[in-house]
Structure 1
Amino acid sequence: MYDVVLLTLGSERDASGSCGSGGACCGGTENEQDGPEQAERCETPRVPVLACADALTARGARVETVTARSDAEIDEVLARLDGPPRADGLTWPDADSKTRLVVAIASDAQLRAVLRRLVRRYAPPPSRRPEDLPAGRTVPDLPPVGVLPLDPAGSTGHRDLAAQLRLPRDPAAVAAAVLDGAPRRLDLLRNDGGSVTLDGALLGAADDAGRPLHWRGRVEVDDTVLSDGDDPLLACAIGNAGGYATLDDVSLLSPPDPTDGLVEVAVAVPVVARSRFGRKRVRLEVRRARGRAVAVLPRDEKVPFLDDGIEGQLSRKRSWWTEPAAWAVWAG
């Protein structure tokens, strides 16, 4: 028999009117200096949560529903996934835990908020790297999570991460995956701003009419330079999961594979060409590369970005790197 914690993220605000530092509210923005998401108020739908809880209980699981409104409350739930004390004093996940976690999400940003706390809980300091940490990783195998989309029918029309990963959306099917399914391990992107990326990031901005604005920045994937900082860029897409961005109906990324240990990166560059009659024509050149890490150094003062749906502004160098197979979902 399993103990199942069904976690939802609430929308309680502090005295200043802003959400807590854990990104526990729906939607949100991210500040590159401190990393935590600041999100807007939302009300969590209850029907899918209750339906999933009923399906789990009917199968004999002991179910507890928890609403977390801060980093500390998320951490209290995640502590139940800890393993026994280690001789080196590190906090480590229990590979044989009988407690399973289901995260009810209204957006990809909410799932990201929980994974971000998992990484902060279990990532050892570089100076205390244990011998049993997988090679090429900075975090151990994170505990699998069940994902319960709060839009079970996908009525919003948004191709969220659950849809990209082909995860079940029906509460009963989610319950079955958590109790009977196997963990499906997936790559995770960490960044030097202190956060994580599950799906992808898109750097760039548009004017009021929706036209992309030019910006400049150096974009480097491993040893491949996609832009040296002199090119006028329209967008830079960084993909980890099933695909992330298009620009003017042009797919920036070839279909990424969230299990190949690589990050997919693309930049869109406008190129002016002349016809044989001397007329100027602008075409979109897309440069792509795959690698273990990507670094973006903006030349402009601030470059807006979306990272797993979280808004932010980049004004200094940021690096993302791949943690192969670091996190996992319960899949049917």
Structure 2
Amino acid sequence: MYDVVLLTLGSERDAAGACGGGDGAGGCCGAADALDASPGKAADERCETPRVPVLACADALTDRGARVTTVTARSDVEIDAVLARLDAPARPDGLDWPDPDSKTRLVVATASDGQLRAVLRRLVRRYAPPPSRRPDDLPGNRTVPDLPPIGVLPLDPARSTTQRDLAGQLGLPREPAAVAAAVLDGRVRRLDLLRNDGGSVTLDGALLGASDESGRPLYWRGRVEVDDAVLSAGEEPLLACAVGNAGGYANLAGLPLLTGPDPADGIVEVAVAVPVVARSALGRKRVRFEVRRARGRAVAVLPRDERIPYLDDGVEGELSRKRSWWIEPGAWAVYRA
């Protein structure tokens, strides 16, 4: 028999009855994004987290014989208290470590990819050993052990028809009963994780660049390197830079950026879109976009402008200093159908 924790992310406002309708239903959609959005804010701050999918999933798990606990976490501390249930017995080196044989399974009810990222970020912080205490049993190409698998319960099962959220890209079950079956049957798919030197993680990808209120692109400058390849030296204007683990930012307004992002190939794909002015036979100026691409283990972006707007797993922010991402092959996992 498994113990299953069904985790929903909320906010302090929700606890005070100012958000979520006062029924304890699970909080504000954007609240958990805000835990992981410094600097920046959640892309979606509407208070509409539904409770019905959580109850339906809990019922389906109970019908299969699982012991179910539902938790609404409103802070990093409360998320950490849930993740501690996944710990292995104490190690001689004193490190917190996930238990590969744990009878406790975790399901995260998500209103956005940013909420799922908030939980993965806390998992990484819990289990990543400091460099000075790196154990011998940690894979040489990783800074974290195999993180415990997570069941993903989308709080809007129809969302994949209008938005390519990560659950939709990965082909994960969306209906509560199907999510429960995947978690209890234990089929696991391991996926790559992007860590960055800002202390966060990326599951899907990041898109640097923005447009003004009229939809006109706001060009920016920055040095973009992928391993030893330089996509931009920082002297020319850029429309966008996509850093892809999965395919959420593969296209920008019809412009193909990433050609084949694979969340399990151990590689990060990066693309920059550079405006190029050309003249027609009649002498008219026309702007087209040159897309430069590279694949590798790590990417670094050094802004030449003061601030560069970006989205990272759907969470808004501004980049004002160098940021580096690197791939952690197979570091996290999901329960699949």
Instruction: Identify the TM-score tier after normalising by the shorter chain.
Output: over 0.9
Residues in 2 aligned to 1:26 and 1:99: alpha-carbon distance in whole angstroms: 23
The residue number in structure 1 matching 2:31 is 25
The residue number in structure 2 matching 1:6 is 6
Which of 293, 301, 309 does residue 306 from structure 2 map onto? 301
Residues in 2 aligned to 1:284 and 1:43: alpha-carbon distance in whole angstroms: 39
Identity of aligned residues (%): 78
Which of 73, 95, 100 does residue 68 from structure 1 map onto? 73
Q: Is the 8 A contact 1:26 1:107 kept in 2?
A: no
Which of 157, 160, 166 does residue 161 from structure 1 map onto? 166
SS state at 2:156 partner: coil
The residue number in structure 1 matching 2:23 is none
CA displacement at 1:41 relative to structure 2: 6.2
CA displacement at 1:164 relative to structure 2: 0.3
Q: Is the 8 A contact 1:11 1:41 kept in 2?
A: no
Name the CA shift for 1:24/1:280 in 2 (closer, same or farther; >3 Å). Answer: closer
Residues in 1 aligned to 2:89 and 2:70: alpha-carbon distance in whole angstroms: 24
The residue number in structure 2 matching 1:152 is 157
Which of 172, 176, 180 does residue 171 from structure 1 map onto? 176
**What residue identity is the alignment partner of 1:218?**
R
The superposition leaves residues 105-138 of structure 1 with CA deviations (integer Å, 9 ceiling, x where unpaired) of 0000100000000000000001111000012100
The residue number in structure 1 matching 2:273 is 268
The residue number in structure 1 matching 2:21 is none
Equivalent residue runs for 1:69-84 within 5 Å: 69-84=74-89
Residues in 2 aligned to 1:94 and 1:242: alpha-carbon distance in whole angstroms: 31
How many residue pairs match? The answer is 325
The residue number in structure 2 matching 1:131 is 136
CA displacement at 1:44 relative to structure 2: 2.4
Name the CA shift for 1:27/1:137 in 2 (closer, same or farther; >3 Å). Answer: closer
Residues in 2 aligned to 1:39 and 1:78: alpha-carbon distance in whole angstroms: 25
Residues in 2 aligned to 1:95 and 1:38: alpha-carbon distance in whole angstroms: 34
CA displacement at 1:326 relative to structure 2: 0.1
Residues in 1 aligned to 2:124 and 2:73: alpha-carbon distance in whole angstroms: 17
Name the CA shift for 1:102/1:245 in 2 (closer, same or farther; >3 Å). Answer: same
Residues in 2 aligned to 1:81 and 1:176: alpha-carbon distance in whole angstroms: 20
Residues in 2 aligned to 1:155 and 1:250: alpha-carbon distance in whole angstroms: 21
Name the CA shift for 1:105/1:213 in 2 (closer, same or farther; >3 Å). Answer: same
The residue number in structure 2 matching 1:20 is none
Residues in 1 aligned to 2:128 and 2:42: alpha-carbon distance in whole angstroms: 19
The residue number in structure 2 matching 1:251 is 256
CA displacement at 1:24 relative to structure 2: 7.6
Residues in 2 aligned to 1:103 and 1:3: alpha-carbon distance in whole angstroms: 14
Residues in 2 aligned to 1:4 and 1:72: alpha-carbon distance in whole angstroms: 19
Name the CA shift for 1:246/1:331 in 2 (closer, same or farther; >3 Å). Answer: same
The superposition leaves residues 169-207 of structure 1 with CA deviations (integer Å, 9 ceiling, x where unpaired) of 010000000001311000000000010000010101101
TM-score w.r.t. the length of structure 2 is 0.92
Q: Is the 8 A contact 1:26 1:39 kept in 2?
A: no
**What residue identity is the alignment partner of 1:103?**
V
Query: Which of 107-116 and 246-255 deviates more?
Result: 246-255
SS state at 1:77 partner: helix
CA displacement at 1:316 relative to structure 2: 0.5
Q: Is the 8 A contact 2:5 2:68 kept in 1?
A: yes
Which of 94, 97, 112 does residue 107 from structure 1 map onto? 112
The superposition leaves residues 136-170 of structure 1 with CA deviations (integer Å, 9 ceiling, x where unpaired) of 10000000000000011227711100000000001
**What residue identity is the alignment partner of 2:38?**
N
**What residue identity is the alignment partner of 2:107?**
V
Which of 217, 229, 242 does residue 247 from structure 2 map onto? 242
The residue number in structure 1 matching 2:215 is 210
CA displacement at 1:242 relative to structure 2: 3.0
Structure 1: 4+ residue segments shifted above 6 A: 35-39
**What residue identity is the alignment partner of 2:177?**
A
Whether 1:321 and 2:326 are equivalent positions in the alignment is: yes
Q: Is the 8 A contact 1:243 1:253 kept in 2?
A: no
Equivalent residue runs for 1:194-233 within 5 Å: 194-233=199-238
